[in-house]
C-alpha cells in the first residue's frame, strides 16, 4: 500500500496543507473539493459520518462545522495531530473525534454510520475491493469515494510522481461497487486539468483555467477527460 510510511513523516505532514491547499490554484481546488464532498453528503446536520483516511481533517472539520457528528480515521498519528489542532481552533472538537486505525479493519460494528466516505485515498491502495467492502459494512446507508481516472490528464504525469497513483477505469469502479454489494446512485466527474497541475498555478491563472474547464465540464467530453470522479453509492 502506497503512502502509509510517507504520511508518518513530520516534514511531509507539516507541509501537507501548506504545499497543496493554501495558495493560488491549490486553494481553489481545496474549495472545489470541499464543495463536492458537501454536495455528495448533504444534508449533514445530525448525521453520523465516518471519514476514512481523513488526514489533517480538511473535510471532517468542514462537515463538523455544518453540524455533522464526525469521526475521522487515519493510520498516521502526525496527520491526526494536525486534524485535532484544527478541530480545536475551529471550535468543533466537541462533535468531532479523530481515531488512529487501519482502513482495512475498521473498529466499528456493522451499520454504525449514516454515511462513510474517503477522498484522496483509493489511489494509494492495492486491493480496493476489500477497503470498499469494509466501508460498506460499517455504513447503514451511504458510501462516497473518489478515484483518479485512468484515461485522463493525470495519466500523463502520474509516472513522475514520487509514489505514483493507482488510476481506475470505469469498469474497475463498476466491479468494485458490485463486489461491495453497493448500488451506484450518483457520479460526478471533475478536473479536466488535474489538481496536481492546478496547485502550481497562481490564483488568477487557476481561476481562468477553471472557467474554461467549467464550460468543458458541461459536455460529455468533460466527463470523459475528467481526472477524478466522485462515486455516490448506497448499501443494498
Ligand atoms: C493523500 S492523504 C489524504 C488525506 C485527506 N483525505 C485529504 O484529502 O486531505 C492520504 C491519507 O491516507 C492515510 N492512509 C494511508 N493508508 C491508510 C490506511 N491503511 N488506513 C487509514 N489511513 C490510511 C494517510 O495517512 C494519509 O493521511
Q: What is the pLDDT of residues 195-218, one digit of tens each?
A: 878 888 898 988 988 888 888 877
Residue nearest to atom 17 of ligand 1 (CA): 75
Alpha carbon of 121 to ligand 1 centroid (Å): 6
pLDDT at residue 128, rounded to an integer: 97
Pocket lining for ligand 1, CB < 6 angstroms: 1, 3-4, 7, 53-55, 58, 74-76, 79, 102-104, 119-121, 124
The DSSP secondary-structure symbol of 179 reads H
Q: Which atom of ligand 1 is nearest to the CA of 76?
A: 25
Residue 1 has pLDDT above 80, yes or no: no
Nearest CA to ligand 1 atom 14: 53
Domain boundaries, the chain: 6-235
Question: Which helix or strand (DSSP H or E) is residue 20 part of?
Answer: helix 10-21
Domain 6-235 matching CATH 1.10.540.10: the answer reads no
Q: Which residue has the higher pLDDT, 220 or 172?
A: 172
What is the predicted pLDDT for the residue at 223? 81
The burial class, CB within 10 Å (0-12 / 13-18 / 19+), for 2 is middle
**pLDDT over 90 at 159, yes or no:** no
Q: How far is the CA of 163 from the centre of ligand 1 (A)?
A: 13
Q: What's residue 68's pLDDT?
A: 98
Instruction: Determine the 3-state secondary structure of 80 from DSSP.
Output: helix
Alpha carbon distances (Å) from 197 to 38, 106, 215: 23, 33, 19
Strands of the 182-190 sheet, one edge to the other: 96-100, 69-74, 48-52, 113-118, 139-148, 228-235, 182-190
Mean pLDDT of the chain: 91
Instruction: Answer yes or no: is pLDDT of 4 > 80.
Output: no
With cut-offs at 50, 70 and 90, classify the pLDDT of residue 3: low
Whether 207 contacts 198, CB under 8 Å: no
Low-confidence winner among 20-34, 114-128, 139-153, 192-206 (lowest mean pLDDT): 192-206
pLDDT (0 to 100) of residue 86: 97
130-155 pLDDT per residue, tens:
999 999 999 999 999 999 998 777 67
Distance from CA of residue 89 to its chain's centroid?
22
**pLDDT for the residue numbered 195:** 80
Assess whether pLDDT exceeds 90 at residue 87. yes
Share of the chain above pLDDT 70, in %: 95
Confidence category of residue 49, pLDDT binned at 50, 70, 90: very high
Cα–Cα nearest to 182, from 124, 225, 140, 125:
140
pLDDT score of 106 more than 70: yes
What's the pTM value of the predicted model, to 2 decimals?
0.93
Amino acid at each position: 500500500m502506497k503512502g502509509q510510511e510517507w504520511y508518518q513523516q513530520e516534514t511531509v505532514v507539516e507541509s501537507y496543507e501548506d504545499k497543496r491547499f493554501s495558495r493560488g490554484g491549490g486553494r481553489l481546488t481545496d474549495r472545489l473539493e470541499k464543495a463536492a464532498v458537501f454536495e455528495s453528503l448533504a444534508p449533514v446536520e445530525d448525521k453520523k459520518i465516518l471519514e476514512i483516511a481523513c488526514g489533517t481533517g480538511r473535510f471532517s472539520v468542514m462537515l463538523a462545522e455544518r453540524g455533522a457528528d464526525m469521526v475521522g480515521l487515519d493510520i498516521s498519528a502526525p496527520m491526526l495531530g494536525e486534524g485535532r489542532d484544527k478541530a480545536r481552533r475551529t471550535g468543533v472538537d466537541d462533535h468531532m473525534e479523530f481515531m488512529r486505525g487501519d482502513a482495512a479493519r475498521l473498529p466499528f460494528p456493522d451499520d454504525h454510520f449514516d454515511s462513510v466516505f474517503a477522498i484522496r485515498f483509493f489511489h494509494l491502495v492495492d486491493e480496493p475491493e476489500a477497503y470498499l467492502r469494509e466501508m460498506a459494512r460499517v455504513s447503514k446507508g451511504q458510501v462516497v469515494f473518489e478515484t483518479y481516472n485512468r484515461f485522463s490528464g493525470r495519466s500523463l504525469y502520474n509516472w513522475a510522481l514520487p509514489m505514483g497513483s493507482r488510476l481506475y477505469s470505469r469498469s474497475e469502479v463498476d466491479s468494485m461497487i458490485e463486489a461491495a454489494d453497493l448500488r451506484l446512485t450518483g457520479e460526478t466527474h471533475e478536473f479536466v486539468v488535474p489538481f496536481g497541475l492546478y496547485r502550481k498555478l497562481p490564483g488568477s491563472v487557476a481561476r481562468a483555467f477553471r472557467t474554461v474547464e467549467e464550460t468543458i465540464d458541461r459536455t460529455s467530453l468533460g466527463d470523459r477527460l475528467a481526472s477524478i470522479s466522485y462515486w455516490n453509492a448506497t448499501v443494498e
